[in-house]
Amino acid sequence: MPTGLAWTALLMGLAGGPHCAGMCGAACGGLVRVSTRNKPPGRGMVAFQAGRLLGYATVGGLSAFAVQNLLWLTRLTPALHPIVTLFDVVLLVWGLTLLVLARQPLWVDGMGRRIWARWRLQPKGGRFWLIVAGAVWALMPCGLLYSALFVASLSGGPLDGARAMALFALGSGLTLAVGPWLWLRLQAWRDPRRQAWGMRVAGASLAVVAAWALAHEMNPRVLDVCRTALGAW
């Protein structure tokens, strides 16, 4: 797995931490408190984050496996090559959207809120349930999560994709775990500008990765022309 993609996934998690705390911090904290009842919530949060790490790593591995097989198929059938290029263009547009607008697409945000409002994960108690709930969290609609998933899909293979998403889960989990506690003490964490800059960093990271992938998918002659033009400029 390219080292740059590993650092990109971790950076997206760390930079997007305020966004994660703002969107999911209260829900995660409430889920842990209700599930642990009168017991100390610390172990419950560890169980939830462990499940979240497992779920994110799983979807990261699956996404990388799917893209790896798509690339293999396009090598056998050159006519399908435009599909890969289109995929990279979509990633580039997605990243630039996050960078410019500093927010996830409205349809993603709305979908996530509707699912949470209807689902409301009925806590059954116990750390095992928290592990399951954390794993299912990987399926929640989130622009930042999708951005990290796109990066993981380009990492090269299932194991590499799982590692990328695990790093993203670790980076974002730091703030997500302490977010509810910080909210009670630091009003600055509610500042929308912190969430906006985290989203911009994630968008810029994804855009760079997508541009890198597009450059490698280009026809060598086209790539040489671009390099010559950049050198002259």
- Mean pLDDT for back-to-back runs of 10 residues, the chain (233 residues): 71 80 71 72 83 94 91 81 84 87 68 59 68 85 85 88 92 74 48 66 85 74 57 58
The pLDDT value recorded for residue 130 is 85
- pTM higher than the cut 0.85: no
Tell me, what DSSP letter sits at residue 154?
T
Contacts of 2 (CB under 8 A, 6+ apart): 155, 156
Query: Angle at the Cα of 31 (from 22 to 33), degrees rounded to 5?
Result: 110
Rg (CA), the chain: 19
Distances (CA, A) of 26 to 32, 83, 135, 177, 212: 10, 40, 18, 10, 37
pLDDT at 164 (0 to 100) = 92
* Separation CA 77–CA 117 (nearest Å): 45
In total, how many domains does the chain have? Answer: 1
* Rounded Cα distance, 29 and 44, in Å: 10
Return the structure tokens found at 191: 């500042």
Q: Which domain holds residue 151?
A: 3-232
Q: How far apart are CA 71 and CA 23, in angstroms?
A: 34
How far does Cα 184 stand from its chain's mean position? 26
